[in-house]
Homo-oligomer: A and B are copies of this chain.
Amino acid sequence: MARSSTRPTSRDVAQAAGVSQAAVSLVLGDKWRGRVSETTAERVREAARDLGYRPNLAARNLRLGRTRTVLLVVPALTTEFFAGVYTGAARVAAAHGFGVVLYPSPEGIGPARDPFASAQAALDGVIASSMAADALTAIRGDQLPLVMLDSDPTGSLGAATVNLDIADGVRQVTTHLLGLGHRRILHLAADVPSWTFEVRARELAAHMATTPGTEIRTARAPISIDGALTATEAALTAPGPRPTAVVCDDDKLAAGAYKALRRLGLRIPDDISVTGLDDLALATAIDPELTTVRLDAELFGEHGMHALMAVLEGREPENRDIPVELVVRGSTAPPPTPA
């Protein structure tokens, strides 16, 4: 009968199995072939099971100087309900000096007060998306291997980058609209300083310029339905010939644009076309369903992690852009013929 108040250690298992702590470590670490007999190994495994042994990861991490864990940094929280749960919980936790780590069951969400303080205990590398400069400085200060998602490849950080081919997506949207006959476009731009949004504006301008007689009007809005509504309404009631299509930086903005258009009495797509970018569930929830650019988020994640693994293994990561795909639905049509 061992002390049951505290968690069992490998030494407790060793004692229970009548072997040394080293043997336990070998067996449970799966490094015993030819070093420990099969019968002894089984005895150790049984003892570990009986005691409910779980290795202490803090000790293991300290010993190995390595954690087999990486940090994925995302720009902001898109989840709605559990984002709120996290925010509230994290606030109280912080007040108690605690950090919070989210776990997605079975897929996935994320962690902590100060990511680099509370995470460095368990990090071999970082994947970061569209981050603030100061956070990046903190990461670099840690000298952790870093992969950037959707960031300027010419940025001076010297980190590997993995990007969605947003530029091509914008080209596809533009080609689609130009082909339908649209010439005057309202660009509903996300009011967020991020490379990925700069690309949209730049590429839209560049590709529209290839056709003569085109015109782009720009409205900026925070990424929220209400923000998009207000900005769109203002832009469309401004003087001058009305745009015949609204190109939105993402689907959420498009949902806001829908509301503004309804309020202005404009029918989609008869009076005005709308496009999004992301292909969220929202895109098919609204009426008419949204013509948008599908981003393969999973593939994106896979490529990002592959790149990080390459860096960790000393290989050169490949900087390939991930293809995207235009999905044409009911929100785009030829512009109305002028009376």
Contact = CB atoms under 8 A, between A and B. Distances in A.
A2 interface: no
Contacts of A80: 78, 278, 280-281, 297
Q: How large is the interface on A (under 10, 10 to 19, 20 to 34, 35 or more residues)?
A: 35 or more
Contacts of A102: 71-74, 102, 104, 108-111
B302 A99 contact: no
Given A72-B86, A119-B103, A302 B91 contact: yes
A83 interface: yes
Interface in A124-158: 124, 127, 129, 131-132, 135, 141-143, 149
A264 interface: no
A98 interface: yes
Nearest to A298: B88
Contact of A86 (B109, B121, B124): B109
B121 A57 contact: yes
How many subunits of this chain does the assembly comprise? 2
Given A111-B111, A258-B285, A62 B72 contact: no
A103 B300 CA distance: 17
Contacts of A59: 58, 62
A20 interface: no
Interface in A54-73: 54, 56-62, 67-73
Given A89-B302, A225-B284, A297 B84 contact: yes
A306 interface: yes
B286 A69 contact: no
Nearest to A84: B297
Contacts of A82: 74, 78, 297
A282 interface: yes
Contacts of A117: 54, 57
A78 B81 CA distance: 8
Contacts of A68: 97-99
Contacts of A89: 72, 127, 301-302, 304-305
A85 B287 contact: no
Contacts of A61: 58, 121
A121 B79 contact: no
Contact of A101 (B70, B135, B141, B225): B70
A337 to B, nearest CB: 27
22 contacts: A54-B117, A54-B120, A58-B67, A60-B121, A62-B62, A72-B85, A72-B102, A72-B103, A74-B103, A75-B105, A86-B108, A86-B109, A88-B299, A88-B303, A89-B301, A89-B302, A89-B304, A102-B102, A102-B108, A103-B119, A106-B132, A121-B121
Interface of A: 7, 52, 54, 56-62, 67-93, 96-112, 115-124, 127, 129, 131-132, 135, 141-143, 149, 224-225, 252, 255-256, 258-259, 262, 278, 280-282, 284-287, 295-306, 309
Given A68-B97, A287-B287, 16 more contacts: A7-B143, A54-B117, A58-B121, A69-B98, A70-B93, A76-B104, A76-B106, A77-B79, A78-B79, A85-B149, A85-B298, A86-B104, A103-B115, A103-B119, A259-B287, A282-B282
